[in-house]
Amino acid sequence: MAIDTLDLAILVAIIAAVVAYFTRGKLWDKNEEDVSATGGSGSRDLMQTLKETGKKALVLFGSQTGTAEDYAHKFAKEFQARFGIPTMCGDLADYDYDSLDKIVADVSGFRLVVFFNATYGEGEPTDNAIDFFDYLDNECEDLSGLKFACFGLGNSTYEFYNAAGKKVADILKSKNAELVGELGLGDDGRGTMDEDYLSWKDSLFEVIKGALSLDEKEAEYEASIEVTEVANLTKDSPTVSLGEPDAKYVSLQGEAGPFDHTHPFLAPVLKTKDLSPNRHCIHAELDLSGSNMKYLTGDHLAIWPSNPDSKVSKMLSALGLQDRKDAVIKIKLLDPTVHSMIPSPTTYGAVIRHYLEISGPVSRQFIGSIVQFAPDEETKQRAKEIAEDKVLFQKRIIDQGFNIADALLALSNGSEWSTVPFAFIIESIPHIQPRYYSISSSALSDRNTVHVTVMVEANEVAGTDRLTTGVASNLLFDIELAQNKIADIEPFENYNLEGPRGKFHNYRLPVHVRRSTFKLPSNPNTPIIMVGPGTGVAPFRGFIREKVRQVENGEKSTGEIVLFYGCRKSTEDFLYKEEWPEYSKKLGDRFKFITAFSREADKKVYVQHKMLEHKKELADLLDKGAFFYVCGDASKMARDVQKALIKVVAQEKKVPEDDAAEMVKQLKIQNRYQEDVW
Ligand code: FAD
């Protein structure tokens, strides 16, 4: 049977679509003329990769928000620079571990494996470390001869503090691997992560000199990437990335999925509203139609932000690049094991606006490493002194609320740091990460739209007239003011809302959905108790909208629903104030909405006080099999709520608090006590 031209065209299109689906755009990503890919050796075989690349040390990270990844990269670079050992840094998800036990014997001169493991949720490993933990639990055998070090990243306000890092160390030791130095435990809860890392790293380096018989030298920057200006391209050349959130957006005209944590969907922002004009809390509704991206009630939405104009401009000035912001640069990977998420060719301005985390606090390590490029001797001495003295660093940099550009300009008395190689900037500054938000809509009632509830972060720096501002939340605030044409309120930050090549025109944001385990009971008849002060109410609005829709759909057997909500004042920051009575009308007696306004009485009243006032009711619901949910602030509220629940159980069941604590622990084990805290 002959194939006519139309058939042939359709056949070619089908083959192209199949190839596109299975390669997920990797083929065109590799095209250098288009937009370069992320690098990496490509093999999942750890030993083969080490042998092929000649690496003698390995740094692996399990990272959720990018912090562990950032520390791992910094460590690998410094380790290599100080001890002259070729070191590879990799994502735990990118390799198989069945050859871990053979590395020492088969890779000549192999020295050390260093793990950086963040703990996520309730003591769980990060998403990219799940397979590695499965290997540890089920497949890992004798690791005699392997030397390893480990730094865990956790938060001491959580019950399972640094569980992932501790587990890695315990299992590897039990398999006869040798832990070099102490297990490092970084604590976000006390805000000491950076200092915890520095003191662990410094003491490990001391131990390493003896344990691995290594000589140390003055660390000098060794570039893993090369940045060169490209004279024959301009920012208008079609292959130049201007900060499109993924290389695919440069090479493709339309949007093509699948959309996930490597490739976001540009979701139209349909509607925004400031729920608290005093404190600014933005409700935003985004349209997921056409993305094929589905969410479940209780999931998280990741928003990929870009930096605001003022911060971009200051950073360019600090580096002496203001006049060259549109110059086109090419980024070449010099080391096959290095990945870069920045598409190339691109511009200096695009890198700074879209890829680097320039807005947050600067680290002491960063100042220490940039000293070598100081523009003059005086600046060098000043920077060195501050980098070596943590008290001085705290006073002169952290207490001032300085970001990187502020700190550099303060250290140089306003002189440009045009002496810093841009490759160093790309390699040393953490890459901007998506921000997560608990979805405040219901997948049942708001099918194609996803809602978020975002508190705008703008905090005064004590003793100054300056503010520190959050990147993503202020982007939403800027969108809200522009979309609603509010001219009499100034945003804290202005953004390029049009986005690269106008891709964000008419208010679009790059987003992806992240699955969470925070879920309603599968039986709608099961009672639920929810505690969500402030923006912690977000997922519970989703839960309640779901319940309302179930009732509207004829569901008769909805169990009791109790929501404890708290804020400062009923007139100030009462989120979704007009909606709750509407939900009450629909749900009737089944729904109880209990409020705690902390600043309306002489004595501060919080949700946990209200829980104790309603202790009998809570204990009865738990007896009936109720699920208990907490969402919001992890540092204090979540612990206070847990303590309050233990008191409720102790008093109502007339048992000692230790027994009540054990009963609450059992609820967690049965998944009837769920937390979504940050
Ligand atoms: P960032 O840029 O990340 O800054 C963080 C903080 O640092 C800000 O307070 C900022 O003012 C401060 N800062 C900036 N520069 C400096 C400096 N130089 N020195 C010192 N401090 C500085 N939030 C919600 O509002 N609603 C939710 O529903 C919600 N759900 C979440 C769910 C999950 C699973 C997680 C992990 C987090 C959730 N969050 C939620 C928190 C949210 O993800 C963001 O952390 C928050 O919006 C701040 O992001 P940002 O980009 O605005 O601030």
Q: Which of 96-105, 379-388, 412-421, 434-443 has the lowest mean pLDDT?
A: 96-105
- pLDDT for 105 equals 85
| 364 and 243 share one domain | yes
- Residue 506 maps to which CATH number? 2.40.30.10
Our answer on whether the CB atom of 186 is closer than 6 Å to any ligand 1 atom is no
Residue 36 scores a pLDDT above 70: no
CATH at residue 329: 1.20.990.10
Residue 660 is assigned to a structural domain of this protein: yes
CA 654 to chain centre: 43
Reported confidence tier of residue 340, pLDDT bands at 50, 70, 90: confident
- pLDDT over 80 at 22, yes or no: no
Asked if the structure places residue 39 within a domain, the reply is: no
| Residue whose CA lies nearest to ligand 1 atom number 17 | 361
Calculate mean pLDDT across residues 182-204. Answer: 95
Nearest C-alpha neighbor of 44 from the set 96, 99, 100, 86: 96
137 and 238 both lie in a single domain: no
Question: How distant is the alpha carbon of residue 111 from its chain centre?
Answer: 31
Atom of ligand 1 nearest to the CA of 359: 15
pLDDT for res 31:
36
Q: Are 119 and 125 in contact (CB under 8 A)?
A: yes
216 assigned to some structural domain: no
| pLDDT-derived band at 40, boundaries 50, 70, 90 | low
- Interface ipTM: 0.99
Which pLDDT value is given to residue 18?
39
Q: Tell me, yes or no, whether 349 and 480 share the same domain.
A: no
**217 falls within a domain:** no
Of 21-30, 171-180, 197-206, 570-579, the range with the lowest mean pLDDT is 21-30
For 56, the token pair is 């003698």
Q: Do 674 and 661 contact (CB within 8 A), yes or no? A: no
Digit-coded pLDDT (tens) for 112-157:
999 999 998 778 899 999 999 999 999 999 999 999 999 999 999 8
Question: What is the per-residue pLDDT for 316?
Answer: 98
* % of the chain surpassing 90 pLDDT: 84
Confidence of residue 215 (pLDDT cuts 50, 70, 90): confident
Are 422 and 438 in a shared domain?
no
CA dihedral 391, 393, 399, 402 (to 10 degrees): -170
CA 543 to chain centroid: 24
- Is residue 318 in a domain? yes
What is the C-alpha R_g of the chain? 27
CB neighbour burial string for 457-479, b if at least 16 within 10 angstroms, e if fewer: bbeeeeeeeeebbbbbbbbbbbb
676 is catalytic: yes
pLDDT of 4 > 80? The answer is: no
Catalytic residue among 70, 101, 246, 676: 676
Q: What is the mean pLDDT of residues 620-648?
A: 96
Contacts of 597 (CB under 8 A, 6+ apart): 566, 567, 568, 569, 570, 574, 605
- In angstroms, what is the span from residue 205 Cα to ligand 1's centroid? 33
* Contact present, 337 and 89 (Cβ < 8 Å): yes
Using the mean position of ligand 1's atoms as its centre, give its distance from the Cα of residue 458 in Å. 10
Same structural domain, 598 and 635? yes
The predicted structure's pLDDT at residue 206: 93
Which positions ≥6 away from 614 have C-beta within 8 Å? 562, 594
Asked if the model's pLDDT at residue 39 lies above 70, the reply is no
Task: Assess whether 351 and 231 both reside in one domain.
Answer: yes
Report which of 597, 612, 613, 668 is spatially closest to residue 644, judged by C-alpha positions: 612
Both 576 and 644 in a single domain? Answer: yes
In a domain, 269, yes or no: yes
Nearest Cα neighbor of 325 from 496, 502, 505 is: 496
Q: Which two tokens stand for residue 622?
A: 């738990």
Confidence bin at 23 (pLDDT 50/70/90): very low
pLDDT, position 120: 87
Q: Specify whether 196 is located in the same domain as 85.
A: yes
Cα 313 to its chain centre, rounded Å, is 24
Q: What is the mean pLDDT of residues 640-669?
A: 97
Cα 472 to ligand 1 centroid, rounded to whole Å: 7
Report the nearest-CA residue for atom 4 of ligand 1. 470
Residue with tokens 């490209």: 230
**What is d(CA 6, CA 12) in angstroms, rounded to the nearest whole number?**
10
Q: Does the beta carbon of 155 sit less than 6 angstroms from any atom of ligand 1? A: no
- Give the residue from 383, 398, 428 where a domain finishes: 428
Task: Name the domain boundary from 404, 428, 452.
Answer: 428
**CATH number for 632:** 3.40.50.80
Number of domains the chain is built from: 5
At residue 308, does pLDDT exceed 80? yes
530 DSSP β-pair partners: 563, 629
**Which of 34, 281, 631, 633 is flagged as catalytic?**
631
519: in domain = no
Q: What is the rounded average pLDDT of the residues 336-362?
A: 94
122, 281, 436, best to mutate for ligand 1 pocket (most atoms within 8 Å of CB) = 436
Per-residue confidence (pLDDT) for residue 41, from 0 to 100:
58
What residues contact 512, with CB distance under 8 A and at least 6 apart? 259, 260, 261, 263, 264, 265, 293, 301, 302, 304, 434
Residues 289 and 384 in one domain: no
Q: Are residues 454 and 533 in the same domain?
A: no
Q: Cβ(457) to ligand 1 under 6 A?
A: yes
Strand residues in 538-626 grouped as ranges (E): 561-567, 591-597
Q: Is the shortest distance between the CB of 436 and ligand 1 below 6 Å?
A: yes
Nearest atom in ligand 1 to the alpha carbon of residue 539 is: 28
Across 11-25, 39-53, 71-85, 656-670, least confident range: 11-25
The listed range with the strongest mean pLDDT (2-6, 168-172, 191-195) is 168-172
Given this model, what pLDDT does residue 104 score?
Answer: 86
One domain for residues 552 and 652: yes
Among 275, 431, 454, 513, name the best residue to mutate to test ligand 1's pocket (greatest count of ligand atoms within 8 A of Cβ): 454
Which residues constitute the domain of residue 648? 528-677
Query: Which parts of 272-335 fold into alpha helices (H)?
Result: 309-318
Q: Are residues 290 and 313 in the same domain?
A: no
Does any domain span residue 488?
yes
If one compares 299 and 104, the residue with the highest pLDDT of the two is: 299
Whether 438 is catalytic is yes
Select the highest-mean-pLDDT range: 121-130, 158-167, 393-402, 554-563.
393-402
Mean pLDDT, residues 78-89 taken together? 94
Give residue-wise pLDDT tens across range 492-534: 999 999 999 999 999 999 999 999 999 999 999 999 999 999 9
What is the Å distance from ligand 1's center to 433 Cα?
11
Which burial class, exposed, middle or buried, applies to 582 when counting CB atoms under 10 A from its CB (0-12, 13-18, 19+)? exposed
User: Mean of the pLDDT values across residues 533-538?
Assistant: 98
- Highest-pLDDT range among 43-47, 86-90, 555-559: 86-90
